[in-house]
């Protein structure tokens, strides 16, 4: 009996243990097995969709969520491939700040008029020609005893004297130059002479090359620029065609005894009494040749320095009533390297007039002033022509000589900053040759 009781107690203890173990197992939640070969680890059960965006990609941006249900497969349109997004800035991705830029070097200034050699733009040298302020340029025309131009001379054939001292030539050329020409037309001549000049305008335009620039001026009692400097021959032709409408003055003394010359009258009796004589004052005549040359010289001085500058006068040569004097105008011409060339027509071309012009008549002005301008500036002698054909030939001769001169150059020795006039004499080591060159120049003022 004792053994039966013992066995019953053992069964009761085993049942209690079994019931307790069952209750503990039921209270512990199921833990999924952690195995490296299971690919569905961490995925939600089927039928449940998590709204978690994908991680950003540097290759392809995330596709936007569709707001409408997707169309059937047969109606779906192919979408263009997405473009790769630009890579983000490394400094922004890492959160680091950008390194500050290197500071600019300090700017150093140099005295006015000087530039350090290491700061000169080498490309500028291709388009600029440096010329010394004291460089003297001398156009020279050489002719033989028959008046024909002499070509083929060399630098050793020339000698240049300045104030009697020989100079060393640093520049020599016989190449033709481009011209800047100011044409001065005298409209104060008699109408017959003005109309004869009008008939030669086509030959005047044809005397210039397509690369020469020409400006047109007129003068009588005043000076007017009727055409600015241009290389277009059609514009010059159009201006000269308009000039054909300009009339000169009539010959003969003014008529003083005519009905229109009487003053006011009362019952046929002049006001002031029967003994009152009418006073008739003819208009004052003027030929402002000096003023015209001065205006043309000032305008030419603003043109390109690489061109040869010429004032081309077509006139009877009279000067009367100018405000500028011959000496002042000549100084401007000599200091700016401008030549004066001229064709004298009408009465100024008559052989007997050449003798009369040597004697100046008071109140009649000067008649030989163009010869003085031409000789002093190296333009040679003035051509005096009467016929139309001779005038047209003179136009071609003047422009050809101006373009095809020898050009000599030198740098004079320092003279202590003096701006006094310096004489020039050009000699040629050949016999029986005539030389036309300017007689001197005014040096440029010293730089301050």
Sheet holding 406-410, edge to edge: 171-173, 406-410, 136-143, 434-436
Q: What is the pLDDT of residue 417?
A: 65
Residues in CB range of 157: below 8 A, 6 or more apart: 428, 429, 430
Q: How many Cα atoms within 13 Å fall on the side-chain side of residue 351? A: 0
Q: What is the mean pLDDT of the chain?
A: 74
Q: What is the pLDDT of residue 286?
A: 81
How far is residue 297's CA from residue 226's CA, in Å, rounded to a whole number?
Answer: 16
Tokens of 311: 């004032």
Closest to 395 in 3D by CA, of 152, 137, 214, 146: 214
Tokens of 235: 């514009």
How far is residue 287's CA from residue 441's CA, in Å, rounded to a whole number?
Answer: 27
Look up the pTM and report it. Answer: 0.64
CB 380 within 8 A of CB 149: no
Distance from the first to the final alpha carbon of the chain? 148
If 0-12 CB within 10 Å is exposed, 13-18 middle and 19+ buried, where does residue 172 land?
Answer: middle
pLDDT in tens, the chain (448 residues): 444 445 555 555 555 555 554 554 444 444 444 444 444 444 444 444 445 555 444 445 555 555 545 555 444 445 555 444 455 444 444 444 555 555 554 544 444 444 444 443 433 443 344 444 578 999 999 999 998 999 999 999 999 999 999 999 999 999 999 999 999 999 999 999 999 999 999 999 999 999 999 999 999 999 999 999 999 999 999 999 999 888 887 654 444 444 444 556 666 666 655 565 555 555 567 889 999 999 999 999 999 989 999 999 999 988 999 999 999 999 999 999 999 999 999 877 666 555 555 555 555 556 689 999 999 999 888 898 888 999 999 999 999 999 999 999 999 876 666 778 999 999 999 888 999 999 999 887 655 4
At residue 79, φ and ψ (nearest 5 deg) are -95, 140
């Amino acid at each position: 009996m004792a053994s039966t009781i013992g066995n019953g107690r053992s069964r009761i203890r085993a049942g209690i243990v079994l019931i307790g173990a069952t209750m503990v197992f039921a209270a512990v939640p199921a833990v999924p097995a952690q195995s490296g070969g299971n690919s569905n680890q961490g995925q939600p059960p089927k039928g449940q969709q998590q709204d978690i965006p994908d991680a950003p990609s540097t290759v392809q941006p995330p596709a936007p969520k569709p707001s409408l249900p997707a169309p059937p497969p047969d109606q779906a349109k192919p979408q263009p491939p997405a473009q790769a997004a630009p890579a983000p800035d490394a400094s922004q991705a890492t959160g680091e700040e950008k390194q500050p830029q290197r500071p600019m070097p300090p700017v150093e200034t140099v005295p006015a008029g000087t530039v350090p050699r290491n700061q000169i733009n080498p490309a500028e040298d291709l388009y600029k020609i440096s010329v010394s302020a004291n460089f003297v340029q001398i156009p020279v025309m050489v002719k033989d005893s028959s008046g024909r131009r002499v070509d083929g001379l060399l630098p050793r054939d020339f000698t240049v004297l300045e104030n009697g001292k020989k100079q060393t030539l640093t520049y020599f050329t016989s190449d033709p130059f481009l011209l800047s020409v100011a044409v001065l037309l005298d409209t104060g001549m008699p109408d017959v002479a003005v109309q004869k000049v009008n008939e030669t305008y086509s030959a005047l335009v044809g005397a210039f090359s397509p690369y020469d620039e020409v400006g047109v001026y007129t003068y009588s009692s005043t000076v007017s620029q009727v055409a600015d400097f241009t290389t277009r021959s059609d514009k010059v032709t159009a201006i000269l065609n308009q000039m054909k409408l300009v009339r000169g003055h009539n010959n003969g003394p003014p008529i003083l005894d005519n009905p229109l010359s009487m003053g006011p009258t009362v019952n046929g009796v002049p006001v002031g009494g029967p003994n009152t004589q009418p006073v008739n004052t003819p208009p004052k005549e003027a030929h402002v040749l000096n003023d015209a040359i001065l205006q043309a010289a000032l305008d030419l001085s603003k043109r390109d320095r690489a061109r040869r500058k010429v004032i081309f006068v077509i006139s009877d040569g009279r000067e009367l009533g100018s405000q500028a004097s011959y000496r002042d105008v000549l100084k401007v011409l000599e200091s700016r390297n401008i030549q004066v060339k001229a064709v004298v027509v009408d009465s100024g071309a008559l052989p007997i007039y050449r003798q009369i012009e040597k004697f100046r008549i008071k109140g009649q002005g000067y008649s030989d002033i163009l010869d003085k301008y031409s000789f002093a500036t190296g333009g040679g002698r003035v051509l005096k022509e009467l016929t139309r054909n001779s005038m047209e030939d003179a136009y071609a001769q003047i422009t050809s000589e101006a373009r095809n001169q020898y050009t000599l150059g030198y740098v004079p020795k320092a003279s202590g900053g003096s701006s006094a006039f310096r004489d020039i004499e050009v000699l040629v080591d050949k016999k029986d040759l005539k030389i036309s060159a300017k007689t001197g120049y005014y040096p440029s003022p010293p730089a301050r």
